[in-house]
């Protein structure tokens, strides 16, 4: 495991306390504020208790410290190699991240070590200079709240030119494509970046000009058996969706997910990856599609 969330959280909380004590600014009230902000809920009791009792010999009862320098956590070589692998991904390179600090570091792995299933083969060309230019221009518009004039080709080969307010970029794992979610006074648009032929940065938009997205949403209800960490994996897989969880018994849960109906097939593919530990309760349309996919797999001799 490269990074530990648990130890990282505790370390960061205590290091903040020590840094504050080194500056001479630590008080009991400040101590509780720092622990509450940087550590887990139960730490509000455990860390201050250990500090007050001088159990760790890091901070004295009068909120001073014998430590002269503020603590730091240098990045290990293994962590650097992992980060280098991430930054070598052509999708990450689109964000123009400065990786000069990792020059000369050998990547931990390369993208050709992975085989992807249930993914279309015609993904975006992330190394195309024009694609990169358009991606970064859109990203600038989103961050700085500018309007955009985009020209794109529809799936029926019609050319469109529209002025929009960009909301966000989404990545489809199934399609291996980025898409732009944007709005104007009349519509909400979802446009694949690979279909955008030109893009122009316009003036900043006023808050009243921004519109809510209009999209058809659906509700997916799952029944989950929590075996082999299935609950945690489902929560992680669908972390970007609005959800609700109800415990039915010791290891049974009902999970409700709100999703864009246009992403129904991709959502279903992700659900299938959990096998028999997840059962689709509703909607019926996804249940029917699920049955069709399973029947096709059976006909191919995959069971």
Give the closest residue to 195 by CA, choosing from 219, 159, 231, 223.
159
Beta strands 242-247; 217-225: pairing state? unpaired
> 32-40: long-range contacts (C-beta < 8 A, 24 or more apart)?
38/9, 38/12, 38/13, 39/9, 39/10, 39/12, 39/13, 40/9
- Separation of alpha carbons 301 and 204, rounded Å: 56
Q: pLDDT value at position 216?
A: 66
Task: Report CA-CA distances (Å) from 172 to 265, 271, 286, 299.
Answer: 11, 15, 19, 28
Pairing between β-strand 217-225 and β-strand 278-282 as defined by DSSP bridges? antiparallel
Given this model, what pLDDT does residue 295 score?
A: 81
Give residue 55's pLDDT.
84
Nearest to 230 by CA among 258, 263, 271: 271
pLDDT (0 to 100) of residue 303: 56
pLDDT at 265: 78
Q: What is the pLDDT of residue 5?
A: 58
Q: What is the DSSP string of 262-279?
A: GGHHHHHHHHHTTGGGEE
Beta pairing partners, 201: 148
Q: Determine the pLDDT at residue 132.
A: 97
Ranges of the chain with pLDDT below 50: none
217-299 classified as CATH 3.40.50 = no
- CA 188 vs CA 15, 80, 140: distances in Å: 46, 41, 20
The fold adopted by the segment(s) 129-209 is: SH3 type barrels. (2.30.30)
């Amino acid at each position: 495991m490269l990074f530990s969330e648990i130890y990282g959280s505790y370390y960061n909380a205590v290091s903040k306390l020590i840094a504050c004590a080194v500056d001479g600014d630590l008080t009991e009230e400040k101590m509780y504020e720092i622990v509450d902000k940087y550590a887990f809920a139960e730490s509000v009791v455990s860390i201050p208790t250990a500090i007050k009792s001088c159990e760790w010999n890091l901070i004295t009862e009068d909120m001073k410290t014998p430590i002269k320098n503020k603590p730091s956590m240098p990045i290990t070589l293994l962590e650097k190699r992992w980060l280098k692998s991430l930054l070598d991904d052509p999708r990450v390179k689109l964000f123009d991240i400065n990786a000069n600090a990792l020059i000369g570091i050998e990547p931990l792995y390369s993208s050709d070590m992975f085989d992807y299933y249930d993914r279309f083969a015609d993904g975006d060309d992330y190394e195309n200079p024009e694609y990169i230019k358009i991606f970064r221009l859109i990203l600038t518009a989103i961050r700085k709240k500018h309007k955009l004039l985009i020209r794109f080709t529809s799936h029926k080969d019609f050319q469109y030119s529209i002025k929009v307010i960009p909301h966000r970029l989404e990545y489809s794992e199934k399609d291996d494509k980025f898409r732009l979610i944007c709005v104007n006074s009349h519509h909400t648009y979802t446009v694949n970046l690979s279909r955008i032929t030109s893009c122009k940065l316009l003036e900043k938009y006023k808050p009243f000009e921004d519109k809510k997205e209009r999209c058809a949403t659906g509700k997916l209800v799952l029944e989950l058996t929590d075996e082999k960490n299935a609950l945690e994996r489902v929560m992680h897989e669908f972390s970007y969706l609005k959800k609700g969880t109800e415990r039915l018994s010791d290891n049974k849960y009902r999970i409700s997910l709100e999703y864009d109906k246009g992403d129904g097939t991709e959502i279903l593919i992700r659900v299938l990856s959990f096998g028999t530990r997840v059962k689709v309760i509703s909607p019926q349309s996804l249940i029917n599609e699920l049955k069709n996919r399973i029947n096709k797999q059976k006909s191919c001799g995959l069971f």
